[in-house]
Structure 1
């Protein structure tokens, strides 16, 4: 509740690290804004490099997509404290370096510190990890961060939606990540609710294919 008596919007911390797939973070910001959530953004130095590689956005244009923006070196920012109330955090995309730092409580910048605060305050943390193939070290870090309370959610496309372009794929994965935090994303297609019933082809009980001599 704000001082003026009006209810405050829910707050979401969004971290963008240096893994490929910055479009996921952009989609999270756009969908959260549409849902009426207040977004607090921190982009790592490597995340800014990825922005330059993968988009035509300037740093200022990316920052304009959030309500509040922080520098990754500003470890004294509001989101670095558990007393600053938020409703959860998403790291999209989440690099293996960032995953590992969060898994082992290495708060070496504001992004990883904010994630550590999210876990220690028992708030939901979703990590959209972008890496393949995975080493044993990667898998162990995923296990450790899951045991700490985070949700590891690699952005896997839902092909049953028959996406026709890249934005469709980015938006649905981002929407599913937000769904894990309780963000009501308008028009999110759900299997068994909005999608058509699955169609089954009927086959004979036994079918033998004869090879030609």
Structure 2
């Protein structure tokens, strides 16, 4: 799928790299309506550790871009197949979340919304940030790919000659946007002049 989505949802789960999710939330609005952001309790803990943000500060930062729903908020419009956007990104995607989606276990709002996206044949982008990957993780990612998801590991590239951590974050966020079908200028593409 290369068509540009009109609407997108974002889920932020408890893997390292919440800063990438913040950048995606900011940048995706240039391309599409950001319908909602789902936040897990584990993501709040990661943001506290990595960014020094409290749960309230993280929710407020995300709420500047779209309504924020906690992972157990089944009153969210994103809980229903009848109200799903054109695409969804899970950034960063924890191995727990990947396993839930891969095995059809809708035990939280993230998995429920992602499974609805897949059932509807819409674009799901899953961005894991874990290393090393074991057999279970690789099998779950393969299962997601076979279900129609696009897997975009949060791995930095260096051909664009990054000069800061922000450049690396922009590169990874840009790769997520590429997979969503959203045009952007977050990083210099291969072959483009500096």
8 Å CA contact 1:35–1:186 kept in 2: the answer is no
Matched, 1:19 2:18: no
Structure 1 residues 94-132: Cα deviation after superposition (integer angstroms, max 9, x where no partner): 010000001001111111111111111111111111111
* Cα distance in 2, alignment partners of residues 84 and 36 from structure 1: 16
1:164, CA displacement in angstroms?
A: 0.8
* Cα distance in 2, alignment partners of residues 31 and 55 from structure 1: 19
CA distance 1:67–1:139, shift in 2 (3 Å)? same
Which structure has more relative contact order (CA 8 Å, sep 6+)? It is: 2
Q: Which residue pairs with 1:195 in the alignment? A: 193
* Cα distance in 1, alignment partners of residues 164 and 89 from structure 2: 24
What are structure 2's unaligned runs of at least 5 residues? none
Q: Equivalent residues in 2 for 1:177-192 (5 A)?
A: 177-186=176-185, 188-192=187-191
* Cα distance in 2, alignment partners of residues 188 and 39 from structure 1: 25
Give TM-score scaled by structure 1 length: 0.82
Matched, 1:51 2:47: yes
What are structure 1's unaligned runs of at least 5 residues? 1-8, 197-213
79-88 or 92-101: bigger deviation: 79-88
Q: What SS does the corresponding residue of 1:160 show, helix, strand or coil? A: coil
Structure 1 residues 121-176: Cα deviation after superposition (integer angstroms, max 9, x where no partner): 11111111111111111111111111111111101212011101111101111111
Give TM-score scaled by structure 2 length: 0.89
| Aligned-residue CA RMSD (Å) | 1.7
Q: Equivalent residues in 2 for 1:58-73 (5 A)?
A: 58-73=57-72
Computing the radius of gyration from Cα coordinates, the structure with the larger value is 1
Q: What SS does the corresponding residue of 1:163 show, helix, strand or coil? A: coil
Q: Which residue pairs with 1:28 in the alignment? A: 24
The number of residue pairs the alignment matches comes to 187
8 Å CA contact 2:25–2:62 kept in 1: the answer is no
